[in-house]
Every structure is written in C-alpha cells, then in structure tokens.
Structure 1
Amino acid sequence: MAKVLMKGNEAVGKAAIEAGCRYFFGYPITPQSEVPEYLSSELPKVGGVFVQAESEVAAINMVYGAAGAGARVLTSSSSPGIALKQEGIGYISNAGLPAVIINMMRGGPGLGTIQPGQADYNMTVKGGSNGDYHDIVLAPASVQEAVDMVMEAFDLADYYGTPVIVLADGLIGQMMEPVEFNYVCKKELAPKTWALTGKGDGEKHMIQNLVIEPDECEAWNKSHFEKYAVIEANEQAWEEYLMEDAEYAFVSYGTSSRIVRSAISYLREAGYKVGMIRPKTLWPFPAKAFEKLDKKIKKYMDVEMSMGQMVQDVAYACNDKNKIEFYGRTGGVVPAVDEIVEFGKRVMGGDK
C-alpha cells in the first residue's frame, strides 16, 4: 500500500478501522478532537457505530459495555478527559476486558493548556483508578508508529484480555507525516466465547467486577497479576539508538525522544559516545534493555516533557538511582535541541 500524508489524529482513527474497530465512544477535547471527527465520518461507511457521549464518564462506560459484548472498541481523549475516564478504565481492567484507549496528552495539571505534554505518565503507567492493576501502555514517537501501535493494541487487548492505552502527545496528534496501513494480526486470537451476546439461550456468561469476600477478592487480584507477569515477560519493547559504543545513554519516549535523537547527532559530532534507549512500552517498562548495559553506561539521562515521572522506573531498571540525571520541560513547553545538547554536555563533563 502506498504511503499517504495524514495528520496523526486522523491516521490513528483510520488505523483503528483497518484493525477491525467498529465502535467508538468519546467526547471532543483539544488536541485530539480530530480522532472523533474522523471516525464520525468514516465508521458508518464500514458499518460501524460512532457515538459522541454526553461526557467522558459516559463514554468510557459505553466502552465497558461494548467490550463486554466482545466488540473491538475504541475511545480517545486528552489528559483531563482521560482523568475523568479513570474509574471506568479500572472497571474494564478488573473485568479483564479488551479495549483500546488513545490519550493525546496535553500540559497540566487540571485543565492546564492545550499544548503537548507527557505528564500523564504516572496516571497511566501506575494506574489512575483504585486497586491493584496494570494496563499495557504503548508510546509512539511518530505518526507511523502511532498507526502501527493502534493496530497492535487491538490484538494485544484481545490476546491478554486487558485495556491497552496508546500514550502519545498533542504534537504527534497534530503533525502530518507520510504513513502506510498494513494491518496483519501477529497474535493467535481465541474466539470470544465469553462475550455477552444477549441471545437468552445456550451457555450463560457473566462478566464479574464486584467480589465481596476479601479472600476471593485477593485471589481475583492474584489471578490478574499472573497474567501481568506473562505480559512483562513477553511484551517489553524498546529501541536502542547508537548504543553499540555508548558510554552514556539518554532515556526518552515519544516526542521528547525525537528531540533527543537530534541532540545526539550534535553530541556525536563533538566526540561524545552517547546513545539512547527509547521505551516503546511504558508498561511493561523495558527493564530488559538495561540489563546488558549497566556495567558500561556511566550515566542515564532521562529527558521528558514532565517533571520527571519516568525517573523512578529508569532508576529501578538500572538498579542505581545515582546513575540518573534528569532534564524536563512541563506545562506544554517542548524542549529545544540546544537545551538537550547543553544538558548532555553538562552531565558528560563539559566541552571536549
């Protein structure tokens, strides 16, 4: 299939359709409003259903219902809207249902700004709802990767029975890049025999959320974490950039990693042996990427569009909080390449 030039928000909407999504429930909010706008036009053309709900809370509970019926279902929003969806996301996670959620992050907290940010990391990766649970979190760094990850998200959601969150930011949603759509399911997916079909005869199914007895609830949680252990073992994903001879390593994801990549080219020209580990999965965090590098890397330089929400995961992965240096901009401010170059030089010992 030939590449086409598309805005990120519209491209992820098309990617969802290509992956078999036929139901979208959402509510407009900048900077992701083109996702529902695109799907409101295109989903009906393939026999799908688009609903602009009366609120984000209503939208996520519609997702809960459609997921329980076995549908491939999507919702999207941006930071404050995702915050409103957290209770419903927790319910879907606890019920073990597949759903895909796109968050085009903006600056915060609260209503914040409409400019891009990455300060939803903790809310998304650590769990924004109550209780013990995880969702798979994918972090694209380009429009093409956002397309690919949305397609993959539906397969991961169905395979593991869990929500998958595609965590991007407003820049990726708003920029235009050439993309191609080539959906190929890479998982062997079982029939959804558990789905609630409403036929009223045959085998009866129940989707459970409330577990009254403490011992039963604990066992329920432990069964979820057995699944999470499998996900952690099998689904960690990352990119290593110029790490073969690196003595220092940036750690960055999404839009920030694109800026870091440009900074690395200047630092390499200046003689610094520096590379980057770019997490593609934020949960499970790619700890495996650090295992083989710990002894040769002098410092890890975490760069984010937040106040350092990923730092703890990097420190845990490299098993040494003293090896972490952080640089971040927040509130919708995007760091410039020269800022990252100066930060890198400062950490690595000044000008060569």
Structure 2
Amino acid sequence: MAKVLMKGNEALAEAAIQAGCRYYFGYPITPQNEITAYMARRMPQVGGVFLQAESEVSAINMVYGAGGAGGRVLITSSSPGISLMQEGISYIAGAEIPCVIANIMRGGPGLGGIQPSQSDYFQATKGGGHGDYKLIVLAPSTIQEMAELTAEAFNIADKYRNPVMILGDGMIGQMMEPVDFESIKKTDEILPKKTWATTGKGKRGKKNIITSLELDPQLLEKHNFDIFKKYKEAQENEIRYEMKDCKNADVILVAYGTIARIAKDVIEKAKKHKIKIGLIRPISLWPFPQEPFNKTANKTSAYLVLEMSMGQMVEDVRLSVNGRKPVYFYGRTGGMVPEVEAILNEVKNILGGVL
C-alpha cells in the first residue's frame, strides 16, 4: 500500500480500523470531527458499527458494553467532551475493559476555543475520574506516529485490560502528512482470546459478569491492589521516549506531541548561534519516562519544558529531575502556539543565568 496523504484525524481512524476496531461511538466536537466523519463512511465498508450517540455520556457507556463483549472499540472527542466521559472512563478502568480513547485537545478551561492546546495533560495522566486508576497515555508527534501508536494502543489495551488514551491536539489532528500503513499489523494476527468477555457461557462453568461495583471494602481493596500490579507492569514495559542531541547539550528541551516538532526547529536554529540544545520527547505520558532524565541530569545545565498550557507536564519533569538541575517552563495557552524565536530567547536567558 502506497503512502497516503491524510489528516492526523483520518490517519487515527484508518489505523484503528486496520488494527481490528469494529465499534466506534462518538459525538461531534471540533477539532476531531474528521474522525467521526471518516468512521461514518468506513465502518459500514468493513462490517463495523458506527454510532453517533446523543451525548458523550451515552457514547462512553456504549464503549463499556461493546468492550465488555470483547470487541475492539474506539471513542474520540475533544477536551470538554472528554470531561463528560470521566465517570464512564472510571467505570471502564474499574471493570478492566480494554478500549482506546482519543482526545484531540482544544483550548480551555470551560468551553474555551477550537484552537490547539495541551492543557488536558493532568486530566489524562493523573486520572480525571474518581477512584484509584490509571490510563496508559500515548502522545504522537507526527501523522505516521499517530497511525502507529493508535494501532499499538489496541494491543496495549488488550494486554492490560485497561483503557489507553491517544493524546493529541488540534494541530496534529488537522495537519496533513504522508502515512504508510504497511507497519500496521493485520487484525487476525493480533486479536487475543478474551475468555473474560460477555460472549455467552459456552462450556464455562459459570457466566462472565463484568462490573466495577464491589460493596465489600476488603474485596474492593484487593481489586485495587490487583489492578495496580498491572500498572506496575506497564511502568516496566510500556515507557516510550525519544532523545535528540542530548549528549553535550547545555540546555535540554522537554516537549511532547506537536510542540516537540517546534523544539526540533529550535535545536537547528540554535546551532547557528553555537548553542547546544537537546530534546527529550516523552511518547508515553503515563507511564512517564524518568530514564532520560537519569541519563542527562549530570551532563546538562538545565531543562526547559515547553507546553501549550500553563504548565502541567513540568511537574512530572521536576519529579524526574528531583532537584539535580534547574527546571524552567515556557508555555502558551488558549490556543496560542510557542514560536521558535521566543523559545530560543528563553534558552539564552537560562544560559545567561546558569553558565
């Protein structure tokens, strides 16, 4: 299959289909509407189910049902819509149902605007709903990576019986790049047996019952301990990150998603000024990669975290650096995007203070 020029939203949708997703539930909201439109056209072609629910609350509970019956299921939305899903996401995590959730972030708080943002990081990585649970969160920075991580997300969700979130923003959802789908594994090769699913009793001795309700506090505590064993396993096996030019860097930028693309432009421009800048790009936002900070803390002067927010990932960076070097922050919010020259000036200011 030749490369196809696609929007990020469309690449996410097609990758989900090629990974075996046959159930999609959603509700229109900018800037992720291309996913809904794409799925409305493609799902009938592959024998799948597309359903536009009456609300995001309804849609996430449809995911609970389809995922509980063993289907590979996708739901997508943007910031305020994801907020409406939080109760259902907590139920799904508690019931150990695999699914993939995509948040193509927009500006906030409140209804905000339709321009790109990264201000849902806390909601995604710290648990936006109630109770003790985690989402595994992946953040692509190219359209090719959007496709590959989406397909991989279904495998991870099935492996841990847990929701996986693709965290993008309006920029990566709307921009267009060539995508090669040859790297996406085909459905029949990767679908595991789901002996826990509500597919009928069959030859089992008892029915499968899926619920997140447990009124006995001792049993509920045991359930929490059990699911956190899975999260510990994920922390050992599912960390992903990229490092660029960090070996002799005076300052290391830390950015994820589309802002990491801008950071790479800053690195190239800085070379003309004889300034050595590196980049750490977390790809898994949870579990958060601490290893690259352990590798670099004794070799760099400072870290500069770049976000389209008032500063959220910066807290995880400070925890990872653990006081070994200064951690600075530069962000734009409300749909504004950091510019290369402004970031480079921030680096110059930092170097003026630490060298």
TM category (shorter chain) comes to over 0.9
Structure 2's unaligned 5+ residue stretches are none
Runs of 4+ in 1 over 2 A off after TM superposition: 184-190, 198-203
SS of match in other structure, 1:221: helix
**Alignment partner of 1:197 is 2:184:** no
Q: Which residue of 1 aligns with 2:217?
A: 214
**Contact residue 159 and residue 188 of structure 1 kept, 8 A:** no
Matched residue count: 351
Give deviations 1:45-83, integer Å, cap 9, x for gaps: 000000000000000000000010000000000000001
Give the CA deviation at 1:22.
0.4
Q: CA deviation at 1:190?
A: 3.9
Q: CA deviation at 1:311?
A: 1.0
Question: What is the TM-score of this pair, normalised by structure 1?
Answer: 0.96
SS of corresponding position for 1:50: strand
> Corresponding residue for 2:226?
223
Map of 2:300 onto structure 1: 297
Letter in 2 for 1:126: K
Match of 1:77 in 2: 77
Structure 2 residue identity aligned to 1:300: Y
CA distance in 2, matches of 1:208, 1:130: 16
* Residues 315 and 324, structure 1, Cα contact 8 Å, conserved in 2: yes
Q: Which residue of 2 aligns with 1:112?
A: 112
Q: Distance in 2 between matches of 1:220 and 1:141?
A: 35
The farther-off stretch of 237-246 and 156-165 is 237-246
Separation (CA, whole Å) in 2 of partners of 1:264 and 1:346: 16
Q: What residue is the counterpart of 1:24 in the other structure?
A: 24
Higher mean C-alpha deviation, range 24-33 or range 185-194 = 185-194
Corresponding residue of 2:352: 349
Alignment of 1:184 with 2:154, yes or no, is no
Q: Kindly indicate whether the alpha-carbon contact (under 8 Å) linking 1:291 and 1:318 is maintained by their aligned counterparts in 2.
A: yes
**Cα offset, 1:292, TM superposition:** 1.6
Q: Which amino acid aligns with 1:235?
A: E
User: Which residue among 262, 274, 279 is the counterpart of 1:276?
Assistant: 279
Question: Does the residue aligned with 1:76 lie in a helix, a strand or coil?
Answer: strand
> 2:34 — aligned with what?
34
Deviation, structure 1 residue 247:
2.8
Q: Equivalents in 2 of 1:230, 1:107: separation in Å? A: 33
What is the RMSD of the two structures over their aligned residues, measured on CA atoms? 1.7
Specify the code of the residue in structure 2 equivalent to 1:118: Q
SS in 2 for 1:93: helix
Q: How many angstroms apart in 2 are the aligned matches of 1:322 and 1:261?
A: 22
Specify the alignment match of 1:239 in structure 2.
242
User: What is aligned with 2:159?
Assistant: 159
Among candidates 313, 316, 319, match of residue 316 of structure 2: 313
User: Is the 8 Å Cα contact of residues 147 and 181 (structure 1) preserved in structure 2?
Assistant: yes
**Alpha-carbon distance in 1 for matches of 2:325, 2:53:** 47
| Native 8 Å contact 2:116 2:171 kept in 1 | yes
TM-score (norm 2): 0.95
Gaps of 5+ in 1: none
TM-superposed deviation, 1:217: 1.2
C-alpha deviation, 1:184, in angstroms: 2.3
**Amino acid paired to 1:184:** K
Separation (CA, whole Å) in 2 of partners of 1:225 and 1:317: 21
Residues 257, 278 of structure 1: 8 Å contact kept: yes
The structural deviation recorded for 1:188 is 7.1
3-state secondary structure, aligned to 1:277:
strand
Question: Among the aligned pairs, what percent are the same residue?
Answer: 54
Contact 2:115 2:170 in 1 (8 A): yes
Query: In the alignment, which residue of structure 2 is the partner of 1:263?
Result: 266
What's the CA shift for 1:348?
A: 1.6
Higher mean Cα deviation, 50-59 or 237-246? 237-246
Q: Which amino acid aligns with 1:314?
A: V
